[in-house]
Amino acid sequence: MARHTFRCPLRWADMDAFGHVNNVTFLRYLEEARIDFMFRVTPGQGGVSFAGGAVVARHEIDYLRPLVHRHEPVTIETWVSDITAASMTVKYEVKDEGRLYARASTVVVPYNLAEQRPRRITAEEKAFLERYLDDGAVVA
C-alpha cells in the first residue's frame, strides 16, 4: 500500500488561547492534505482530480497529543480505506518523527457542481485510489 505524504505548514494563529493548535484547525490541515492528494492533477502519473467537486459526508478524528506552533511543517500521511460506487474513505495520520498527533478519517462523496448532485466514481479514479488502498480494505 502506498501512502500520500503532505508536509503541512502551520500558521502562528492556528494556536488558541490555551497555546496549542486548536482542535478545529486539525481539520483544516486534513483538508489541505486531502486537496493535495485529491485535487492536484498529475497527468502522466495516472493522477486524477476531484477539484471539480467533492463533498465531505463525515469526519472522525482522535487527538493523541497537543501540537504547538513551530516553523517546521507537520507530516500528514493519507491513504484510502474504503471505495464504494459513490464514495471513498480517506484516512490520515498527523505526525512527526516518532510522534503521532492525530488519527482521522473522512468520507468523501464526488460531486457534480454543475448539476448540484453526487456522482459515481469513475474507473480511472478508482484505479488511482486503489494504489493508496489499505491492505485489509474491502472494495465494494
Among residues 137, 98, 108, 97, the alpha carbon closest in space to that of 37 is found at 108
Stretch that binds its own copies, among 50-58, 80-88, 89-97, 123-131 (CB under 8 A): 50-58
Assign 32 to helix, strand or coil: helix
When computed from its CA atoms, the radius of gyration of the chain, rounded to whole angstroms, is 16
61 touches its own copies (CB under 8 A)? yes
Q: What is the x/- site pattern for its own copies, positions 64-103, by CB under 8 A?
A: --x--x-x--------------------------------
Measured from the CB atom, is 19 or 98 closer to its own copies? 19
89 versus 133: smaller Cβ distance to its own copies:
89
CA–CA dist 113, 96 (Å, integer): 36
Q: What are the residues facing 83 on neighbouring strands?
A: 88, 139
CB of 58 to its own copies, least distance (A): 5
E-strand ranges in 34-133 read: 54-63, 74-83, 88-95, 100-112, 117-118
Residue numbers at the binding site for its own copies (CB under 8 A): 9, 11-13, 15-19, 22-24, 27-28, 31-32, 35-36, 39-40, 53, 55-63, 66, 69, 71, 113
